[in-house]
């Protein structure tokens, strides 16, 4: 629980610190074009709010996209982490045993840790219907430590935990950026298998010339779509946890 909460809160507060951490990130196969951010590795896409400066080359693991606004000052970051058994078991027992969705359980664990750190934590709000229709239902809540004022939306899929975090130096600035935050959240959705397939014409031509049963660069090919190699069976995140 300590590792999970520390990592999550560190990423959330990172946007307000604006420091060069000098850390490396894994290859994310992400791109930012015409204000549309796409991460094929995480299979998510989102539209950057108008008037916000964005970069898809952050320097912190798990941070996919960084967006900034100077007047009033504020930052929005998009993060993603693998939903593993380790992450699931880091949640308090009461959160895991609730009958809620995995998204709600994740937020339950995060809120409990933030409250223990004596931060002021607001009530949970349901995310926009657009997320639910896109197969990525979300919830959000606000919290602050008197110096940084944050709003965080969370959505958990079968294999990813995605967060959108707004941070501002004042409560007024946070409120002023509420609309662009909501606009970005509404556009957040999961990519289909077709959307994560290669888009390079030459590579597609090479794939079409190969039998569908042969692997390409270690990835089995099926119906014209290249998927990552399955490897050993993936352990379901939901299951018994060590005492």
pLDDT in tens, 13-38: 543 333 222 233 334 456 888 899 99
CATH of 2-190, one of 3.40.1000.10, 3.40.50.2300, 3.90.226.10, 3.40.50.720: 3.40.1000.10
Percent of the chain whose pLDDT exceeds 70: 71
What are the boundaries of each domain within the chain?
A: 2-190, 198-243
Task: Name the average pLDDT for the chain.
Answer: 78
Average pLDDT over residues 141-168: 96
Average pLDDT over residues 41-64: 87
Helices and strands (DSSP H and E) totals, the chain: 8, 14
Average pLDDT over residues 133-158: 95
Residue 184: strand pairing partners: none
Average pLDDT over residues 32-45: 91
Q: Assess whether pLDDT exceeds 60 at residue 202.
A: no
Q: Rounded to an integer, what distance in angstroms lies between the CA atom of residue 101 and that of residue 108?
A: 10
Pick left, alpha or beta for residue 107 (phi over 0 → left; psi -120 to 50 → alpha; otherwise beta).
Answer: alpha
């Amino acid at each position: 629980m300590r590792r999970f909460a520390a990592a999550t809160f560190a990423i959330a507060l990172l946007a307000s610190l604006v420091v060069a951490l000098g850390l490396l990130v894994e290859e994310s196969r992400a791109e930012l074009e015409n204000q549309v951010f796409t991460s094929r590795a995480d299979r998510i896409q989102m539209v950057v709010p108008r008037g916000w400066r964005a970069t898809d080359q952050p320097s912190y693991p798990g941070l996919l996209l960084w967006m900034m606004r100077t007047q009033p000052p504020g930052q929005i970051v998009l993060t993603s982490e693998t939903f593993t058994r380790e992450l699931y078991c880091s949640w308090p027992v009461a959160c895991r045993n609730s009958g809620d969705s995995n998204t709600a359980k994740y937020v339950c664990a995060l809120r409990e840790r933030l409250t223990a750190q004596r931060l002021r934590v607001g009530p949970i709000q349901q995310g926009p219907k657009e997320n639910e229709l896109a197969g990525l239902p979300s919830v959000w809540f606000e919290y602050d430590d008197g110096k940084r004022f944050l709003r965080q939306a969370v959505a958990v899929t079968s294999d990813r935990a995605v967060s959108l975090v707004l941070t501002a130096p004042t409560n007024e600035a946070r409120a002023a950026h509420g609309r662009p935050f909501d606009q970005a959240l509404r556009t957040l959705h999961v990519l289909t298998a077709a959307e994560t397939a290669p888009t390079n014409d030459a590579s597609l031509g090479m794939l079409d010339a190969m039998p569908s049963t042969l692997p390409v660069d270690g990835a089995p090919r099926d119906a014209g779509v290249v998927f990552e190699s399955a490897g050993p069976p993936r352990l379901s995140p939901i299951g018994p946890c060590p005492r």
